[in-house]
Chain A
Amino acid sequence: MIKKYVLISFILITMLVSACAPAAVQPTIQAPTSPPAAAPTQAPPPQPQPTAPTAARLLRLAHSWGPLKIDPAIGSDFAAQSMMVNLYDTLLFPTTDGKLNPWVADSFDVSSDGLTYTFHLKKGIKFHDGTELKASDVVFSMNRDLTIGQGMAYMFVNRVQSTKALDDYTVEFTINKPYALFPQTLVRLWIMNEKVVKANTQAEGQYGENGDYGTTWLLTHDAGSGPYKVKEFQLEEYMLMEKNNDWWAKDKFVPNAPDLVRVIPIPEAATLRTLMANRELEISDQWQSADTFRSLEKIEGVKIATFDAVTMLYIYLNTKKPPLDDVHFRRAVAYAFDYETAANIDWPGTKVSRAPVPMGVPGANPNLTPYEHSVDKAKAELAQSKYANELDKYPVTFYWNTDVPDTQKYALLFQSSLAEAGINVKIEGTPWLTLTQLASKAETSPDAWPLYLNADLPEAGALLYQRYDSSTQGTFFQGEWLGDKYFDEQIALALSEQDQATRFQMYADLQKYIMDLSPSLYVFDQYQKHAYQDYLDWPATKGTVYPVMGYNQFFAFIGVNPH
């Protein structure tokens, strides 16, 4: 009887093994040869290794997938922005130092009152379906953003008064008050093909006469003119993009730019390690633990890219509730906290923050004196606080986000650091949904809570406004409830100043002002980490880093070498 079972088992195992031929997927697959590419001219792509491409180059990368939203009026996270950069074109293209290069627009003029911006478009730019990109498409894209109001549209809502096509190649924006960063916001205006969107719009939807405004179709398709176009999109599974060989700026493709780009949701750490080791994934996501990155670094051929994510870990302090309504108490907290230890908990190599905005953001003030861990200074500030003699009555409650378990470590560090200065801290874990709900009112907003925030625009003023202007109170951008009139007036003035040098000086002064008020702890400037294969030429790994979310994964500039 045993023999029979052994025989059956043997047959089963043989069947299994026969089905298990090595499954490694080659990173290049046979396909038509890429067109010859000329040297890049404008934006700064890397110096690629010259190779003679004979097969389709495949770039596979992992991204957060919540799910991946590639509709320009809806997607706003890192994954979405990284895809839109590749699927769509914008009027202007950011540079690594926060300036702007001509892109779809050759040039633009600003009226003397700073309210009208006129852009002159290049001729002959084609969308993926071959239709020519015209000023009317820009108008359509802006109006669609303003109507839907999601994604990055907040940059235009309540700011753009009208958008007009003066002729096929001239578009005019009128804004309701001077805003010097308006051209910068246009790196988030993805120009859509009006004809294609309208052809794929469902009559029924929440946008009145615009039906669904193409939102259903655009979940899995693109209507852009960018260097890549959507080839396949399987919900929950992957998105496959192919190179747009008719891209108007095809001379900017590096010679070994990928022909196909496959994006997958973040796999579990063990799976990620296997994919990287088997060379089935070229770029990992950035959300892996420090341990996982250490483990990935040991795999032959895998490297770790570390670059400034223009993101900071803030700890918000509610300035409207005792004891944190007292500036000396807040300063005491700022001095008591151990920044160096915090910076090395999960992100070794990151730098302790030196200003209210990350140093990678143009306009950050590098000349400030940041708070440093000093129990003596903390006690000295505490002594000046009106709560000095009744610390027991006013414990500080720190809410950590249970959806991001690592934030508990910062809660514990906060507790132990402040205990040294004699401040009593209670810790509570709270889900993100509850946290945002609590933060919507000053009375319920937590005493202290941590949050990673990144700059949506390449200027310090935009982030300062988002963080501390009274209009953002009650949102997750501002848990401090600062409500400072002087700041509100000065940031409005700065953002309307057309001269960049003057504007940057105003930002610098405001950062000093905010530091003195100490409404937040500036813990560290987060460094984004990705594991990547050594056969990639990825500019971001060589110091060519864009201070705008998403642009560091502009695939036209990333080379995939044979290996």
Chain B
Amino acid sequence: MLAIIIDDSRAMRLILRRIIAKIGFDAVEAGDGQAALDTIAELTEPPQLALVDWNMPVMNGLEFVTRARKDPRLRDMTLVMVTTESEQSQIVRALAAGAHEYVIKPFTEDSMIDKLALLGLTPTGANP
């Protein structure tokens, strides 16, 4: 299983990579939404999971989610916003744009794994 981690912080990408490795994901990384789209375009198969920060330079996470949702090739990719944007209105915007779940920073390893499990992303299987 492959995921893409989109965050302008290398430290945060590393933390997320460590966590999702525990449920069987390999990961590619990108520092902003546009870089993520470029990375995905080069893959033979799109990732099954995208963990997306909101506030990033070049292209923010909300725009990435909006564009990803319009791309038929990425129809089956699970989109999870991982961000400090914790206002209800922002969560609603992200979900309306097509995000499947929303994780607020700071998060613990357990809370992230629990959230992904709710989406069917567990060590024993991918998104049903």
Do these two chains really belong together in a complex? no
B interface, CB within 8 angstroms of A: none
